Amino acid sequence: MALSLIAEIMGWADDSQSEATREYAWLRLMSTVKYDSYSDFRAGIRFVESLATWLKQFEPEDREVAFRFIRERLVYISVAEMQCLIEAFVPEILTPNLRQIVGQDLGIPAYDVWATKKGAETFRKRLRKTLFVGMSDGSRIDVLRRANSGRLSQEQVVPILNVDFDKWRDLAENLEGDQGMQPGEKFDSVYLIDDFTASGTTFIRNVGGKWKGKLKKFNDIIVNAKNELKEQFPIVDNFDLHIHHYISSAQAKKNLNDRLKAAEAWEQRTYGSWAISEGLLLPTTLPVSPATDGAMINLCTKYYDNQLFERLRKHCEENGQTTMAFGYADCALPIVLEHNTPNNSIPLLWADTDGKGGAHPMRSLFHRRDRHG
Amino acid sequence: MRDHWSNCITHFDERVDVFVKEHFSDPKTRCLLIAGAGFDPRARRVAEKLAAAMGPRLHALFLREERGDPAANLTTEADTNEQELLSLVPNGVVQQIQIFAEDGAPVAGQRLSDTLARFEWPEELTDVVLDMSALSLGIAFPAARFCLEHCERDDNLNFHLMIASNPELDARILGEPSPQVINVRGFAGINVEYASKPVARIWLPHLAHGSAAKLQKIRASHNDVYKICPLLPFPARNPRRADELLTEFLTQLTDEWDFDSRDLIYVSERNPLDSYRTISTLKERYDRTVDGIFEPQIILSPLGSKVMAAGAMMAAIEHNLLVQYVETLRYDFDHMGNGHEHHADMTVHVWLHGPIYASYKQQEPAPEPEAV
């Protein structure tokens, strides 16, 4: 029934050799493999039903462009794909970084670290002295812990940014008491882990000369905890900071680099060296652009309700934006994550508005749970 | 013996260049490079890096795969590559390998084994590098197994895999499949013909652009497959590549293979250790599941990216898995790439064996007590 609904909306002829048959097969496969598991879908109204609602908002002559966009441009990161990115973090990002650091400590090439007992033991200790902090629900620290059971200690992983003083004391006690560690031993590296960055803005930004974002918040937490706990605080001064996103856009990577360089001037900076990594770097060609997506760009503006901008006016203006037709920070991404759709993606994918004042009421395909209202 | 394999030393892209300069510039190193000398534009990438760092300390065995009726332009390009390789590595020799016998039977593995057995290995080698970039699966896999066994007999001899990978370019090289499904030489898996228990097969086809006909032949050669778990590239340079392959294989997946959508396996297009780890985990779990009731058999068909195939090869060696493929009668190469933009090669280095792993076990943390 749902597939017939799509055929009716799209105007596909209903015979066995038709376009409809091919598209039905594709819709069935992709719904099952990927789209039906979107976190906002519910029994009875999953991908195909949501697609019907979404397509109906467009005038008939625009529906083919919208459907082709989903078929050929949408990047949907499924649960299984996200799991791959989480599982790859320790072997593919952390381990080579640690080998590099241990190699520098011992004055040997990184690839020689496991050649001697001394190198291997230094590696093991350095691994234990690395702290992992989840920056949001999307960092999926539970999955990261499970994937590295036996490799990472439960006592070196913190699922939330807001760590209280008791937790800091616990972390210190457990580290000092671990195999081969000495009293007063401290963490020397910290990994801040998050799921996705498209603009880098949420992580670090400067608004009117004032620094904001998750990194500033983390730095403030460290400053306060150090002041309170003194020698009991379990992280060394000028620790190595690593910022890892499971997925990053090329634009965000550049912005993060630029802003972290600027933030080196912070008076109360707690970290020393810093590095940025990601599990999947989205290509620079991914954003919707006039050169490759002219017809879809037209739909983004034709069916745009400026209420989106009004709802986020403060954030948008901080960012120098005058419209939300192409998403936050004008990122124009065609990306959907299984647990939510980033507001940096084109709003036609995620926005629901009521069309006040004669505007077009936008209907989402993948409804976004928005922190900003 | 190979505890380190799930965590091998790897380098990627510009880090490979740094590694080559650091390790191979040492005047104590003497290296044998084994590589393809065919038409593939990637044939010279690794040799260029090694030759620049090593000069006369580099030796090479270049394998030229000969198929019955090659396209004239590809023969010319292979001739050019061969000449360039020999000028890069004056201590190099070229050996032709006939992929098919006169009666049309695929004999690549046998001919490769004969070639390697006859080859006079240079003395006092410190390193062996197998460059899989321009070698077909039927040659690269047996060559890897031969070299690994040779190197593992000596604790001080290093064995490396190197690959110049380019999935977009792979998609432009199309091959006409031969009629026969064959086991890769040295990768026949355990013999289940006389197993005392019924055999439960899992087939892991790598979905790759243009390989549907080959995979169809392999699927048709088995009438009893318990599960099909297609392998797809993710993460990938093109984040839609897995979706595009699902679309290309729509008919097989929805109508012909009796496939469960929960059984898709995603492995990295960039890091071969990801497919090694994933296939190894599947093998260990599957063995436990059917233990005592069925004889487990995992069949690999790594027809796609060389990087994913290298990981599958490691898993096949480690767990003695069956690797099946269909040989290519004739290649065609779309030089223009249908107007698509140029994508740079990605380079991968995997250090499979050597003294660098002597204390690998020491770095493993003690297991934590189970939570109550």
Chain A residue numbers with beta carbons less than 8 Å from the beta carbon of B366 are 179
Q: Do B363 and A95 touch (CB under 8 A)?
A: no
Q: pLDDT tens-digit profile of A268-290?
A: 999 999 999 999 999 999 999 99
The tokens 């706990």 sit on which residue? Answer: A229
Segment 8-67 of chain B within 8 Å of chain A by CB? 9-10, 19, 22-23
Chain A residue numbers with beta carbons less than 8 Å from the beta carbon of B242 are 81
d(CA B356, CA B352): 10
Q: What is the pLDDT of residue A373?
A: 37
**B154 in helix, strand or coil?**
coil
CB-closest option in B264, B271, B366 to A33: B264
CB-closest option in B19, B235, B253 to A84: B235
Average pLDDT over residues A310-326: 91
CB-closest option in B23, B271, B358 to A92: B271
CA distance B92 to chain A (A): 28
Q: What is the pLDDT of residue B362?
A: 81
- Stated pTM of the model: 0.94
Q: What is the pLDDT of residue A322?
A: 94
Q: Do A117 and B359 touch (CB under 8 A)?
A: yes
Find out whether B203 and B228 touch, Cβ atoms under 8 Å. yes
Distances (CA, A) of A284 to A17, A331, B87, B338, B368: 38, 11, 38, 21, 43
DSSP classification of residue B347: E
Question: Taking CA atoms, what residue in B is nearest to A282?
Answer: B239
Residue B335: which pLDDT band, with cuts at 50, 70 and 90? confident
Chain A residue numbers with beta carbons less than 8 Å from the beta carbon of B264 are 33, 80
CA distance B271 to chain A (A): 8
Question: Taking CA atoms, what residue in B is nearest to A73?
Answer: B240
Residues 6+ apart with CB under 8 A from B328: B67, B99, B136, B175, B176, B177, B178
Residue B368: which pLDDT band, with cuts at 50, 70 and 90? low
- Asked if pLDDT for residue B146 goes beyond 50, the answer is yes
Give the tokens for residue B113: 């084994």
Query: In this structure, how many other beta carbons lie within 10 angstroms of the beta carbon of residue B9?
Result: 24
Query: In this structure, how many other beta carbons lie within 10 angstroms of the beta carbon of residue A240?
Result: 18
CA distance B64 to chain A (A): 33
Chain B residue numbers with beta carbons less than 8 Å from the beta carbon of A112 are 356
Which pairs from A217-224 meet CB under 8 Å and 24+ separation?
A217/A161, A218/A133, A218/A135, A218/A161, A218/A192, A219/A266, A219/A268, A219/A269, A219/A270, A219/A271, A221/A161, A221/A162, A221/A163, A222/A270, A223/A268, A223/A270
> φ and ψ at B187, to 5 degrees?
-130, 50
- Which amino acid makes up residue B72? A
Burial class (CB in 10 A: 0-12, 13-18, 19+), A218: buried
Chain B residue numbers with beta carbons less than 8 Å from the beta carbon of A22 are 250
Q: pLDDT tens-digit profile of B296-309?
A: 999 999 998 999 99
Q: pLDDT tens-digit profile of B34-85?
A: 999 999 999 999 999 999 999 999 999 999 999 988 888 999 999 999 999 9
**A292 in helix, strand or coil?**
helix
Find out whether A139 and A337 touch, Cβ atoms under 8 Å. no
DSSP classification of residue B122: P
Chain B residue numbers with beta carbons less than 8 Å from the beta carbon of A179 are 365-366
- Asked if pLDDT for residue B371 goes beyond 70, the answer is no
Return mean pLDDT, chain B.
93
Cα-Cα end-to-end distance for chain A: 35
- Asked if pLDDT for residue B198 goes beyond 80, the answer is yes
Q: pLDDT tens-digit profile of A122-171?
A: 999 999 999 999 999 889 999 999 999 989 999 999 998 888 999 999 99
Which pairs from A165-172 meet CB under 8 Å and 24+ separation?
A165/A225, A165/A228, A165/A229, A168/A225, A168/A229, A168/A232, A168/A233, A168/A234, A169/A229, A169/A232, A169/A234, A171/A131, A171/A234, A172/A232, A172/A233, A172/A234
Q: Do B250 and A26 touch (CB under 8 A)?
A: yes
CB-closest option in A92, A111, A286 to B9: A111
Distances (CA, A) of A244 to A86, A94, A119, A271, B183: 11, 10, 25, 15, 42
> φ and ψ at B303, to 5 degrees?
-90, -5
Q: pLDDT tens-digit profile of A55-114?
A: 999 999 999 999 999 999 999 999 999 999 999 999 999 999 999 999 999 999 999 999
Q: What is the pLDDT of residue B372?
A: 46
Segment 233-272 of chain B within 8 Å of chain A by CB? 234-235, 237-240, 242-243, 246-247, 250-251, 253-255, 261, 264, 266-268, 271
- Asked if pLDDT for residue A342 goes beyond 60, the answer is yes
CB-closest option in A74, A96, A128 to B365: A128
Q: pLDDT tens-digit profile of A203-258?
A: 999 988 999 999 999 999 999 999 999 999 999 999 999 999 999 999 999 999 99
CB-closest option in B234, B255, B362 to A117: B362
SS3 content of chain B, % helix, strand, coil (to 5): 40, 25, 35
Q: pLDDT tens-digit profile of A355-366?
A: 999 999 999 999
- Which amino acid makes up residue A146? R
The tokens 């499970």 sit on which residue? Answer: A146
Distances (CA, A) of B147 to A74, B111, B128, B276: 44, 15, 8, 18
d(CA A100, CA B19): 12
Residue B103: which pLDDT band, with cuts at 50, 70 and 90? very high
Chain B residue numbers with beta carbons less than 8 Å from the beta carbon of A73 are 240
Give which of A114, A247, A284 to mutate to test B binding, by max B Cβ within 10 Å: A114
CB-closest option in B239, B250, B367 to A75: B239
Chain A residue numbers with beta carbons less than 8 Å from the beta carbon of B247 are 26
Question: Taking CA atoms, what residue in A is nearest to B274?
Answer: A88
Residue B338: which pLDDT band, with cuts at 50, 70 and 90? low
Return mean pLDDT, chain A.
94
- Asked if pLDDT for residue B31 goes beyond 70, the answer is yes
Q: What is the pLDDT of residue B367?
A: 59
- Asked if pLDDT for residue B147 goes beyond 70, the answer is yes
Give which of A81, A129, A174, A195 to mutate to test B binding, by max B Cβ within 10 Å: A81
CB-closest option in A29, A113, A120 to B250: A29
d(CA B110, CA B183): 12
Spatial CA neighbour of B306 closest among B345, B342, B339: B345
The tokens 């290309």 sit on which residue? Answer: B248
Chain B residue numbers with beta carbons less than 8 Å from the beta carbon of A244 are none
d(CA B179, CA B113): 23
How long is chain A? 373
CB-closest option in A25, A123, A280 to B239: A280
CA distance B290 to chain A (A): 24
Q: Give the number of A-B residue pairs with CB atoms closer than 8 Å.
A: 119
Q: pLDDT tens-digit profile of B211-235?
A: 999 999 999 999 899 999 999 999 9
Give strand ranges (E) for B171-308: 173-188, 199-205, 227-228, 231-233, 265-267, 295-301
Find out whether B349 and B308 touch, Cβ atoms under 8 Å. no
Find out whether B309 and B149 touch, Cβ atoms under 8 Å. no
Q: pLDDT tens-digit profile of A22-46?
A: 899 999 999 999 999 999 999 989 9
Residues of chain B with pLDDT > 70, as a percent, come to: 96
Q: What is the pLDDT of residue A331?
A: 95
- Interface pTM (ipTM) of the complex? 0.94
CA distance A60 to chain B (A): 25
